[in-house]
Amino acid sequence: MGINLKLKRKLAQAYNSPSQKARVLTEGWLKNEAYCPNCGNEYLEKYPNNTPVADFFCENCSEDFELKSKSIGFGKKVLDGEYESMLDRLADAHNPNLFLLSYDLSSYQVSDFLVIPKQFFIPEIIEKRSPLSTTARRAGWTGCNILLDRIPETGKIFLIKDKQIKPKEDVCAVWQKTLFLREERKIQSRGWILDVMRCIELIRKKEFTLADIYKFENMLAIQHPDNRHIKDKIRQQLQILRNRNYIQFTGKGEYRII
Ligand SMILES: [Zn+2]
């Protein structure tokens, strides 16, 4: 059975506030239509409301998912919760994967639905917002944004894009490709691998050379001001990516994305 893009308006009839309506509609849709990108299980279970860990889980493989939804597409940033607790959460193995859902209110249809696997969450993609002013009810409270443009494309897995449903096998295959990152317990080393993955994508070629990727040396130096051996670091990440079957070495200083 295929995925139905329609949000069930009936579900929200009993609610008045627009944010509650949106929550009920999108959670209801996810429970009925989404599947687990890790194991392919067709049913995701909902945690009781206000569970701090996550919103949904897969009974089959125990992956946790958080859902954020919006009536217009996500730009370069997604608003998230309190900054310090977000950073604490990243260090925790129980950090959930993040589903992002955007819907079109004129047709009550889901337009985009993607998942960011938890291994892509590193402190560099979390932006601290300005604390709330002293006159605010929660004065001093500091929120955060998730910087979507700092995440490699392989970390933004679309199940639905522009109302087009992606084949489930493709979604699950892309998901499997980067699970190795979870074994990298040190968040800092994971940051380096992710940055090099992003540089490879920015080259926009299936086959590339060491010279292509060295062009990003300055960019990486800005992102990692404490490191003076950027080229060594790049080559080290390429080795890791080769060992993990993410890229292939095809010749001296020549690579291919798998
Ligand atoms: Zn699962």
Q: Among 83-92, 192-201, 240-249, which is the least confidently predicted range?
A: 83-92
Q: Which residues, in sequence order, are bridge partners of residue 165?
A: 160
* Residue at 41: amino acid letter: N
List pLDDT tens digits, range 28-68.
999 999 999 999 999 999 999 877 778 999 999 999 999 99
Tell me how far the alpha carbon of residue 42 lies from the centroid of ligand 1, in angstroms.
8
Domain with CATH 1.10.10.10 in the chain: 184-258
Give the pLDDT band (50/70/90) at residue 1: low
**pTM, to two decimals:** 0.92
Domain with CATH 3.40.210.30 in the chain: 1-167
Tell me how far the alpha carbon of residue 33 lies from the centroid of ligand 1, in angstroms.
14
- The C-alpha atoms of residue 194 and residue 199 are separated, in whole angstroms, by 9
Tell me how far the alpha carbon of residue 64 lies from the centroid of ligand 1, in angstroms.
9
CATH class of the domain whose range is 1-167:
alpha beta
Tell me how far the alpha carbon of residue 39 lies from the centroid of ligand 1, in angstroms.
4
Tell me how far the alpha carbon of residue 166 lies from the centroid of ligand 1, in angstroms.
18
CATH label, 184-258, candidates 3.30.2130.10, 1.20.120.530, 1.10.10.10, 2.60.40.1120: 1.10.10.10
List pLDDT tens digits, range 74-85.
889 999 889 999
Q: Can you give the pLDDT at residue 84?
A: 93
Q: Can you give the pLDDT at residue 145?
A: 95
Q: Which of 51, 57, 63, 69 has the alpha carbon at shortest distance from 108?
A: 69
Tell me how far the alpha carbon of residue 44 lies from the centroid of ligand 1, in angstroms.
8
CA angle 43, 49, 53 (to 5 degrees): 80
Burial of 223 (0-12, 13-18, 19+ CB in 10 A): middle
